[in-house]
Amino acid sequence: MSETGALTDSGSEPEERVLEAALRPKNLDDFVGQARVRQQLSLVLEASKIRERTADHVLLSGPPGLGKTTLSMIIAAEMNAPLRISSGPAIQHAGDLAAILSSLSEGEVLFLDEIHRMSRPAEEMLYMAMEDFRVDIIVGKGAGATAIPLEIPPFTLVGATTRAGLLPGPLRDRFGFTGHLEFYSVAELELVLRRSAMMLSLSVNSAAFSQIASRSRGTPRIANRLLRRVRDWALVNRQETIDERAACAALDMYEVDERGLDRLDRAVLFALCSKFGGGPVGLSTLAIAVGEETETVETVAEPFLVREGLLGRTPRGRIATAAAWAHLGLSMPADAIFAGQGGIELDSESDD
Ligand SMILES: Nc1ncnc2c1ncn2[C@@H]1O[C@H](COP(=O)(O)OP(=O)(O)OP(=O)(O)O)[C@@H](O)[C@H]1O
Ligand SMILES: [Mg+2]
Protein backbone atom coordinates (compact mmCIF):
# COMPACT_ATOMS: atom_id res chain seq x y z
CA MET A 1 0.00 0.00 0.00
CA SER A 2 2.68 2.45 1.05
CA GLU A 3 5.15 1.98 -1.76
CA THR A 4 5.55 5.68 -2.30
CA GLY A 5 5.79 6.50 1.39
CA ALA A 6 3.78 9.65 0.68
CA LEU A 7 2.54 11.78 3.52
CA THR A 8 -1.03 11.41 2.34
CA ASP A 9 -0.91 7.68 1.67
CA SER A 10 -3.48 6.04 3.93
CA GLY A 11 -1.41 2.88 4.47
CA SER A 12 1.11 2.68 7.31
CA GLU A 13 4.84 1.92 7.41
CA PRO A 14 6.19 -0.44 10.10
CA GLU A 15 7.97 2.32 12.06
CA GLU A 16 4.82 4.39 12.02
CA ARG A 17 2.83 1.60 13.64
CA VAL A 18 4.67 2.15 16.89
CA LEU A 19 3.63 5.81 16.92
CA GLU A 20 0.11 4.88 15.90
CA ALA A 21 -0.22 2.43 18.75
CA ALA A 22 0.41 5.21 21.24
CA LEU A 23 -2.39 7.35 19.80
CA ARG A 24 -4.98 4.59 19.56
CA PRO A 25 -8.14 5.19 21.57
CA LYS A 26 -8.51 2.41 24.15
CA ASN A 27 -12.29 2.31 24.57
CA LEU A 28 -15.45 2.94 22.58
CA ASP A 29 -16.09 6.30 24.23
CA ASP A 30 -12.73 7.65 23.07
CA PHE A 31 -13.28 6.40 19.55
CA VAL A 32 -14.27 9.43 17.49
CA GLY A 33 -16.99 9.36 14.82
CA GLN A 34 -18.52 6.28 13.16
CA ALA A 35 -21.55 6.84 15.37
CA ARG A 36 -23.64 4.10 13.83
CA VAL A 37 -20.96 1.39 13.92
CA ARG A 38 -20.08 2.37 17.47
CA GLN A 39 -23.68 2.18 18.59
CA GLN A 40 -24.32 -1.16 16.89
CA LEU A 41 -21.11 -2.63 18.19
CA SER A 42 -21.74 -1.48 21.69
CA LEU A 43 -25.14 -3.20 21.58
CA VAL A 44 -23.57 -6.47 20.38
CA LEU A 45 -21.00 -6.34 23.17
CA GLU A 46 -23.48 -5.32 25.89
CA ALA A 47 -25.86 -8.12 24.94
CA SER A 48 -23.14 -10.73 25.03
CA LYS A 49 -22.06 -9.52 28.47
CA ILE A 50 -25.62 -9.87 29.76
CA ARG A 51 -25.93 -13.32 28.24
CA GLU A 52 -22.50 -14.19 29.61
CA ARG A 53 -21.48 -15.55 26.24
CA THR A 54 -18.62 -14.70 23.94
CA ALA A 55 -19.59 -11.95 21.52
CA ASP A 56 -20.71 -12.76 18.00
CA HIS A 57 -18.09 -12.63 15.25
CA VAL A 58 -17.53 -9.13 13.89
CA LEU A 59 -16.41 -8.06 10.43
CA LEU A 60 -14.98 -4.57 10.01
CA SER A 61 -14.66 -3.25 6.49
CA GLY A 62 -13.49 0.03 5.05
CA PRO A 63 -10.53 1.86 3.52
CA PRO A 64 -7.08 1.91 5.21
CA GLY A 65 -6.49 4.10 8.24
CA LEU A 66 -10.10 4.51 9.38
CA GLY A 67 -9.81 2.52 12.61
CA LYS A 68 -10.37 -1.20 11.97
CA THR A 69 -7.36 -2.39 13.99
CA THR A 70 -8.17 0.16 16.67
CA LEU A 71 -11.75 -1.11 16.95
CA SER A 72 -10.63 -4.72 17.21
CA MET A 73 -8.46 -3.80 20.17
CA ILE A 74 -11.34 -1.90 21.72
CA ILE A 75 -13.61 -4.94 21.31
CA ALA A 76 -11.17 -7.12 23.24
CA ALA A 77 -10.74 -4.45 25.92
CA GLU A 78 -14.50 -3.93 26.30
CA MET A 79 -14.99 -7.69 26.60
CA ASN A 80 -12.13 -7.93 29.08
CA ALA A 81 -10.73 -10.63 26.84
CA PRO A 82 -7.22 -11.36 25.64
CA LEU A 83 -6.51 -10.46 22.02
CA ARG A 84 -4.66 -12.62 19.49
CA ILE A 85 -3.55 -10.88 16.31
CA SER A 86 -2.85 -12.48 12.97
CA SER A 87 -3.58 -11.75 9.34
CA GLY A 88 -4.79 -13.37 6.14
CA PRO A 89 -1.40 -13.30 4.41
CA ALA A 90 0.21 -14.96 7.46
CA ILE A 91 -2.19 -17.90 7.23
CA GLN A 92 -1.30 -19.70 4.04
CA HIS A 93 -2.00 -23.28 5.17
CA ALA A 94 -4.95 -24.69 7.05
CA GLY A 95 -2.40 -25.96 9.56
CA ASP A 96 -1.34 -22.38 10.40
CA LEU A 97 -4.92 -21.59 11.31
CA ALA A 98 -5.41 -24.85 13.21
CA ALA A 99 -2.39 -23.99 15.35
CA ILE A 100 -3.81 -20.59 16.21
CA LEU A 101 -7.35 -21.83 16.85
CA SER A 102 -6.30 -24.74 19.03
CA SER A 103 -4.25 -22.48 21.27
CA LEU A 104 -7.01 -19.92 21.92
CA SER A 105 -8.35 -19.58 25.43
CA GLU A 106 -12.06 -19.35 26.14
CA GLY A 107 -13.54 -15.98 25.18
CA GLU A 108 -10.36 -14.82 23.44
CA VAL A 109 -10.72 -12.32 20.61
CA LEU A 110 -8.96 -13.41 17.45
CA PHE A 111 -8.22 -10.50 15.13
CA LEU A 112 -7.57 -11.46 11.51
CA ASP A 113 -6.42 -8.47 9.52
CA GLU A 114 -6.73 -8.54 5.71
CA ILE A 115 -8.98 -11.54 6.08
CA HIS A 116 -9.71 -11.49 2.33
CA ARG A 117 -6.14 -12.63 1.69
CA MET A 118 -6.39 -15.96 3.48
CA SER A 119 -5.88 -19.15 1.48
CA ARG A 120 -8.90 -21.19 0.43
CA PRO A 121 -8.26 -24.26 2.64
CA ALA A 122 -7.73 -22.04 5.68
CA GLU A 123 -10.91 -20.18 4.85
CA GLU A 124 -12.88 -23.42 4.78
CA MET A 125 -11.49 -24.42 8.14
CA LEU A 126 -12.46 -21.03 9.49
CA TYR A 127 -16.12 -21.48 8.40
CA MET A 128 -16.44 -24.52 10.60
CA ALA A 129 -14.57 -23.00 13.52
CA MET A 130 -16.79 -19.90 13.45
CA GLU A 131 -20.00 -21.88 13.36
CA ASP A 132 -19.36 -24.97 15.45
CA PHE A 133 -16.19 -24.12 17.40
CA ARG A 134 -14.68 -27.25 15.95
CA VAL A 135 -12.18 -28.01 13.22
CA ASP A 136 -11.28 -31.17 11.36
CA ILE A 137 -7.58 -31.83 11.24
CA ILE A 138 -6.75 -33.94 8.19
CA VAL A 139 -4.05 -36.49 8.84
CA GLY A 140 -2.44 -38.42 6.00
CA LYS A 141 -3.00 -38.15 2.27
CA GLY A 142 -5.23 -39.64 -0.42
CA ALA A 143 -7.42 -42.65 0.39
CA GLY A 144 -5.78 -43.11 3.79
CA ALA A 145 -6.49 -39.55 4.96
CA THR A 146 -8.61 -39.24 8.07
CA ALA A 147 -10.22 -36.24 9.70
CA ILE A 148 -9.64 -35.85 13.40
CA PRO A 149 -12.20 -33.51 14.94
CA LEU A 150 -10.81 -30.99 17.37
CA GLU A 151 -12.94 -28.94 19.75
CA ILE A 152 -11.93 -25.33 20.18
CA PRO A 153 -13.08 -23.02 22.96
CA PRO A 154 -15.69 -20.39 22.08
CA PHE A 155 -13.93 -17.31 20.74
CA THR A 156 -14.85 -14.09 18.96
CA LEU A 157 -13.43 -13.58 15.51
CA VAL A 158 -12.89 -9.99 14.45
CA GLY A 159 -12.06 -9.84 10.76
CA ALA A 160 -10.86 -6.69 9.03
CA THR A 161 -10.83 -6.05 5.32
CA THR A 162 -10.30 -3.15 2.99
CA ARG A 163 -12.02 -5.17 0.25
CA ALA A 164 -15.29 -6.57 1.56
CA GLY A 165 -16.24 -7.32 -2.03
CA LEU A 166 -13.45 -9.91 -2.27
CA LEU A 167 -14.72 -11.89 0.70
CA PRO A 168 -16.51 -15.10 -0.29
CA GLY A 169 -20.21 -15.09 0.58
CA PRO A 170 -20.09 -18.06 2.96
CA LEU A 171 -17.41 -16.36 5.04
CA ARG A 172 -19.21 -13.02 5.08
CA ASP A 173 -22.43 -14.74 6.14
CA ARG A 174 -20.85 -16.25 9.22
CA PHE A 175 -20.23 -12.91 10.86
CA GLY A 176 -22.97 -11.89 13.25
CA PHE A 177 -22.28 -8.22 12.68
CA THR A 178 -20.58 -6.24 9.93
CA GLY A 179 -19.44 -2.70 10.60
CA HIS A 180 -18.65 -0.60 7.58
CA LEU A 181 -16.36 2.31 8.38
CA GLU A 182 -16.89 5.56 6.49
CA PHE A 183 -14.53 8.45 5.82
CA TYR A 184 -14.54 11.03 8.64
CA SER A 185 -15.90 14.55 8.44
CA VAL A 186 -13.56 17.50 8.99
CA ALA A 187 -15.23 18.15 12.35
CA GLU A 188 -14.58 14.55 13.43
CA LEU A 189 -10.98 14.72 12.32
CA GLU A 190 -10.57 17.87 14.38
CA LEU A 191 -11.63 15.86 17.42
CA VAL A 192 -9.13 13.12 16.55
CA LEU A 193 -6.43 15.79 16.25
CA ARG A 194 -7.37 17.49 19.51
CA ARG A 195 -7.03 14.22 21.33
CA SER A 196 -3.69 13.43 19.67
CA ALA A 197 -2.34 16.92 20.36
CA MET A 198 -3.23 16.52 24.01
CA MET A 199 -1.44 13.19 24.18
CA LEU A 200 1.61 14.66 22.48
CA SER A 201 1.46 17.74 24.77
CA LEU A 202 1.19 20.11 21.81
CA SER A 203 -0.37 23.53 21.90
CA VAL A 204 -2.43 23.94 18.73
CA ASN A 205 -5.15 26.53 18.09
CA SER A 206 -8.56 25.84 16.53
CA ALA A 207 -7.79 27.34 13.13
CA ALA A 208 -4.70 25.16 12.88
CA PHE A 209 -6.71 22.03 13.80
CA SER A 210 -9.21 22.84 11.10
CA GLN A 211 -6.45 23.38 8.50
CA ILE A 212 -4.85 20.03 9.29
CA ALA A 213 -8.22 18.24 9.42
CA SER A 214 -9.34 19.54 6.05
CA ARG A 215 -6.13 18.29 4.43
CA SER A 216 -6.41 14.80 5.91
CA ARG A 217 -8.57 13.09 3.28
CA GLY A 218 -11.17 11.94 5.77
CA THR A 219 -8.63 9.61 7.37
CA PRO A 220 -7.49 9.66 11.02
CA ARG A 221 -4.18 7.99 10.18
CA ILE A 222 -3.34 10.80 7.75
CA ALA A 223 -4.54 13.44 10.24
CA ASN A 224 -2.21 12.10 12.93
CA ARG A 225 0.67 11.91 10.47
CA LEU A 226 0.18 15.49 9.27
CA LEU A 227 0.00 16.62 12.90
CA ARG A 228 3.40 15.05 13.57
CA ARG A 229 4.90 16.78 10.54
CA VAL A 230 3.46 20.12 11.63
CA ARG A 231 4.90 19.47 15.09
CA ASP A 232 8.36 18.95 13.52
CA TRP A 233 8.03 22.20 11.62
CA ALA A 234 7.01 24.10 14.76
CA LEU A 235 9.88 22.61 16.72
CA VAL A 236 12.49 23.60 14.16
CA ASN A 237 10.94 27.03 13.70
CA ARG A 238 10.63 27.52 17.46
CA GLN A 239 6.88 28.08 17.48
CA GLU A 240 5.46 27.35 20.92
CA THR A 241 1.88 27.39 19.71
CA ILE A 242 0.88 25.96 16.38
CA ASP A 243 -1.40 28.49 14.73
CA GLU A 244 -3.00 28.52 11.31
CA ARG A 245 -0.01 30.21 9.71
CA ALA A 246 2.35 27.58 11.08
CA ALA A 247 0.09 24.71 10.03
CA CYS A 248 -0.28 26.10 6.51
CA ALA A 249 3.43 26.85 6.15
CA ALA A 250 4.33 23.34 7.30
CA LEU A 251 1.79 21.57 5.10
CA ASP A 252 2.65 23.73 2.09
CA MET A 253 6.25 22.76 2.61
CA TYR A 254 5.28 19.09 2.56
CA GLU A 255 3.26 19.82 -0.60
CA VAL A 256 -0.10 18.86 0.88
CA ASP A 257 -2.57 21.38 -0.48
CA GLU A 258 -5.71 22.82 1.13
CA ARG A 259 -7.81 19.96 -0.19
CA GLY A 260 -5.37 17.22 0.85
CA LEU A 261 -3.88 16.62 -2.60
CA ASP A 262 -0.18 15.85 -2.64
CA ARG A 263 2.47 16.33 -5.28
CA LEU A 264 1.53 13.21 -7.26
CA ASP A 265 -2.20 13.96 -7.20
CA ARG A 266 -1.60 17.44 -8.56
CA ALA A 267 0.90 16.19 -11.13
CA VAL A 268 -1.70 13.74 -12.45
CA LEU A 269 -4.39 16.41 -12.70
CA PHE A 270 -2.00 18.92 -14.17
CA ALA A 271 -0.80 16.52 -16.86
CA LEU A 272 -4.36 15.56 -17.63
CA CYS A 273 -5.39 19.19 -18.13
CA SER A 274 -2.29 20.76 -19.63
CA LYS A 275 -1.04 17.92 -21.83
CA PHE A 276 -4.25 16.16 -22.81
CA GLY A 277 -6.80 18.96 -22.76
CA GLY A 278 -8.62 17.28 -19.89
CA GLY A 279 -8.76 13.84 -21.52
CA PRO A 280 -9.98 11.26 -22.13
CA VAL A 281 -6.53 9.72 -21.97
CA GLY A 282 -5.44 6.16 -21.21
CA LEU A 283 -4.08 5.38 -17.76
CA SER A 284 -0.69 4.18 -19.02
CA THR A 285 -0.17 7.32 -21.11
CA LEU A 286 -1.08 9.43 -18.11
CA ALA A 287 1.36 7.49 -15.92
CA ILE A 288 4.20 8.03 -18.40
CA ALA A 289 3.39 11.74 -18.50
CA VAL A 290 3.94 12.03 -14.75
CA GLY A 291 6.89 9.62 -14.69
CA GLU A 292 5.23 7.05 -12.44
CA GLU A 293 4.27 3.39 -12.64
CA THR A 294 0.75 2.78 -13.91
CA GLU A 295 -0.06 0.96 -10.70
CA THR A 296 1.06 3.86 -8.53
CA VAL A 297 -1.19 6.27 -10.38
CA GLU A 298 -4.08 3.83 -10.25
CA THR A 299 -3.86 2.76 -6.61
CA VAL A 300 -2.24 5.75 -4.89
CA ALA A 301 -3.53 8.84 -6.66
CA GLU A 302 -6.73 7.90 -8.43
CA PRO A 303 -9.02 6.64 -5.67
CA PHE A 304 -8.83 9.94 -3.82
CA LEU A 305 -9.11 12.06 -6.98
CA VAL A 306 -12.20 10.10 -8.04
CA ARG A 307 -13.67 10.36 -4.55
CA GLU A 308 -13.15 14.11 -4.59
CA GLY A 309 -14.85 14.39 -7.96
CA LEU A 310 -11.69 15.73 -9.61
CA LEU A 311 -11.04 12.85 -11.97
CA GLY A 312 -13.38 10.58 -13.86
CA ARG A 313 -12.80 7.07 -15.16
CA THR A 314 -14.56 6.49 -18.43
CA PRO A 315 -14.46 3.60 -20.90
CA ARG A 316 -12.31 5.82 -23.15
CA GLY A 317 -9.86 6.88 -20.48
CA ARG A 318 -9.35 9.35 -17.64
CA ILE A 319 -10.90 12.78 -17.71
CA ALA A 320 -10.53 15.89 -15.58
CA THR A 321 -13.78 17.24 -14.15
CA ALA A 322 -14.70 20.92 -14.10
CA ALA A 323 -13.72 20.88 -10.41
CA ALA A 324 -10.21 19.74 -11.36
CA TRP A 325 -9.69 22.65 -13.72
CA ALA A 326 -10.94 25.00 -11.04
CA HIS A 327 -8.73 23.45 -8.36
CA LEU A 328 -5.64 23.95 -10.51
CA GLY A 329 -6.71 27.51 -11.25
CA LEU A 330 -6.90 26.77 -14.96
CA SER A 331 -9.70 27.81 -17.22
CA MET A 332 -11.40 24.91 -18.88
CA PRO A 333 -11.39 25.02 -22.70
CA ALA A 334 -14.87 25.10 -24.18
CA ASP A 335 -14.33 21.80 -25.99
CA ALA A 336 -13.08 19.91 -22.92
CA ILE A 337 -15.09 16.80 -22.22
CA PHE A 338 -15.94 16.40 -18.62
CA ALA A 339 -18.29 14.42 -16.44
CA GLY A 340 -21.91 15.06 -17.24
CA GLN A 341 -21.07 16.52 -20.67
CA GLY A 342 -20.05 15.09 -23.99
CA GLY A 343 -22.11 11.96 -23.40
CA ILE A 344 -19.39 10.25 -21.42
CA GLU A 345 -20.48 7.91 -18.71
CA LEU A 346 -18.45 7.75 -15.55
CA ASP A 347 -17.33 4.38 -14.34
CA SER A 348 -18.13 3.96 -10.71
CA GLU A 349 -15.09 2.78 -8.79
CA SER A 350 -15.08 -0.98 -8.67
CA ASP A 351 -14.13 -2.93 -5.59
CA ASP A 352 -11.80 -5.43 -7.20
N1 LIG B 1 -12.14 6.89 15.43
C2 LIG B 1 -10.89 7.20 15.74
N3 LIG B 1 -10.63 8.04 16.75
C4 LIG B 1 -9.36 8.37 17.04
N5 LIG B 1 -8.28 7.90 16.39
C6 LIG B 1 -8.48 7.04 15.40
C7 LIG B 1 -9.79 6.64 15.03
N8 LIG B 1 -9.70 5.77 14.00
C9 LIG B 1 -8.40 5.64 13.74
N10 LIG B 1 -7.66 6.40 14.57
C11 LIG B 1 -6.20 6.53 14.54
O12 LIG B 1 -5.77 6.28 13.20
C13 LIG B 1 -4.69 5.38 13.17
C14 LIG B 1 -5.00 4.28 12.20
O15 LIG B 1 -6.06 3.47 12.66
P16 LIG B 1 -6.10 1.89 12.41
O17 LIG B 1 -4.72 1.33 12.44
O18 LIG B 1 -7.07 1.32 13.37
O19 LIG B 1 -6.67 1.82 10.94
P20 LIG B 1 -7.04 0.53 10.07
O21 LIG B 1 -8.45 0.73 9.61
O22 LIG B 1 -6.74 -0.70 10.82
O23 LIG B 1 -6.08 0.67 8.82
P24 LIG B 1 -5.47 -0.51 7.86
O25 LIG B 1 -6.57 -0.88 6.91
O26 LIG B 1 -4.33 0.17 7.15
O27 LIG B 1 -5.04 -1.62 8.74
C28 LIG B 1 -4.46 4.92 14.62
O29 LIG B 1 -3.26 5.45 15.07
C30 LIG B 1 -5.58 5.48 15.43
O31 LIG B 1 -5.05 6.13 16.55
MG1 LIG C 1 -5.26 -2.14 10.53
Q: Is residue 7 in some structural domain?
A: no
Task: With cut-offs at 50, 70 and 90, classify the pLDDT of residue 338.
Answer: low
If one compares 267 and 342, the residue with the highest pLDDT of the two is: 267
Q: Which of 3, 19, 24, 26 to mutate to test the pocket of ligand 1 (most atoms within 8 A of CB)?
A: 24
Which segments are annotated as binding site for DNA? 313, 318
Q: Which amino acid is at 90?
A: A
The reply to whether 109 and 52 lie within a common domain is yes
What is the pLDDT at residue 327? 95
CA contacts within 13 A on the Cβ side of 80 = 5
Ligand 1 in reach of 67 Cβ (< 6 A): yes
**Percent of the chain whose predicted confidence (pLDDT) is above 90:** 78
What is the pLDDT at residue 276? 94
What is the pLDDT at residue 346? 54
What is the pLDDT at residue 16? 73
Per-residue pLDDT, averaged over 191-219, amounts to 96
Q: Which of 70, 85, 163, 228 to mutate to test the pocket of ligand 1 (most atoms within 8 A of CB)?
A: 70
Ligand 1 in reach of 216 Cβ (< 6 A): no
The reply to whether 286 and 159 lie within a common domain is no
Highest mean pLDDT among 211-215, 277-281, 295-299, 334-338: 211-215
Residues 65, 69, 72, 76, CA torsion sign: negative
The reply to whether 218 and 272 lie within a common domain is no
CA of 69 to the centre of ligand 2 (A): 4
> What ipTM was reported for this prediction?
0.98
* Number of domain units in the chain: 3
The last residue of a domain, from among 253, 279, 304: 253
For the beta carbon of residue 296, count every other beta carbon within 10 angstroms: 17
Contact criterion met (CB below 8 Å) for 279 and 317: yes
DSSP codes joined into one string, 213-244: HHTSTT-HHHHHHHHHHHHHHHHHTT-SEE-H
Strands 134-139 and 177-180: unpaired
Per-residue pLDDT, averaged over 73-87, amounts to 95
Task: With cut-offs at 50, 70 and 90, classify the pLDDT of residue 347.
Answer: low
Kindly report, residue by residue over 229-265, the tens digit of the pLDDT.
999 999 999 999 999 999 999 999 999 999 999 999 9
pTM of the model: 0.88
> What pairs with residue 146 in β-bridges?
139
Q: Which amino acid is at 36?
A: R
The reply to whether 165 and 136 lie within a common domain is yes
The reply to whether 127 and 247 lie within a common domain is no
Q: Return d(Cα 264, Cα 250) in angstroms, integer.
A: 18
The reply to whether 234 and 316 lie within a common domain is no
Q: State the ligand closest to the CA atom of 74.
A: 1
Q: Is residue 74 in some structural domain?
A: yes
The reply to whether 142 and 71 lie within a common domain is yes
The reply to whether 42 and 176 lie within a common domain is yes
What is the pLDDT at residue 352? 39
Q: What residues are neighbours of ligand 2 (ion), with CB under 5 Å? A: 68-69
The last residue of a domain, from among 180, 202, 223: 180
DSSP codes joined into one string, 107-172: T-EEEEETGGGS-HHHHHHHHHHHHHSEEEEEESSGGG-EEEEEE----EEEEEES-GGGS-HHHH
- As a three-state string, the secondary structure of 19-38 is HHHHHCCCCHHHCCCCHHHH
The last residue of a domain, from among 131, 152, 180: 180
Please say if the pLDDT value at position 204 is more than 80.
Answer: yes
The reply to whether 155 and 97 lie within a common domain is yes
Q: Return d(Cα 346, Cα 314) in angstroms, integer.
A: 5
Where residue 296 sits, what CATH number does that domain have? 1.10.10.10
What is the pLDDT at residue 178? 95
Kindly report, residue by residue over 136-194, the tens digit of the pLDDT.
888 888 888 888 899 999 999 999 999 888 899 989 999 999 999 999 999 999 999 99
| Backbone dihedral angles phi then psi of residue 83, each to the nearest 5 degrees | -120, 130
Number of H helices, E strands in the chain: 15, 11
The reply to whether 83 and 150 lie within a common domain is yes
Question: Which residues does the annotation mark as catalytic?
Answer: 68-69, 113, 162, 221
Q: Is residue 351 in some structural domain?
A: no
Question: Nearest CA to 125 among 69, 171, 79?
Answer: 171
Per-residue pLDDT, averaged over 118-133, amounts to 92
Q: Is residue 126 in some structural domain?
A: yes
Ligand 1 in reach of 194 Cβ (< 6 A): no
**Low-confidence winner among 2-16, 18-32, 52-66 (lowest mean pLDDT):** 2-16
Q: Is residue 76 in some structural domain?
A: yes
For the beta carbon of residue 139, count every other beta carbon within 10 angstroms: 10
Q: Return d(Cα 309, Cα 264) in angstroms, integer.
A: 16
Q: Return d(Cα 278, Cα 280) in angstroms, integer.
A: 7
Residues found in the chain: 352
Contact criterion met (CB below 8 Å) for 220 and 189: yes
Q: Is residue 339 in some structural domain?
A: no
The reply to whether 169 and 200 lie within a common domain is no
Please say if the pLDDT value at position 220 is more than 70.
Answer: yes
3-class state of residue 282 by DSSP: coil
What is the pLDDT at residue 351? 41
Per-residue pLDDT, averaged over 93-115, amounts to 94
Contact criterion met (CB below 8 Å) for 333 and 320: no
Q: State the ligand closest to the CA atom of 67.
A: 1
The reply to whether 81 and 106 lie within a common domain is yes
Ligand 1 in reach of 179 Cβ (< 6 A): no
Q: Is residue 16 in some structural domain?
A: no
3-class state of residue 16 by DSSP: helix
Where residue 42 sits, what CATH number does that domain have? 3.40.50.300
Q: Is residue 65 in some structural domain?
A: yes
Ligand 1 in reach of 220 Cβ (< 6 A): yes
Domain that holds residue 55: 34-180
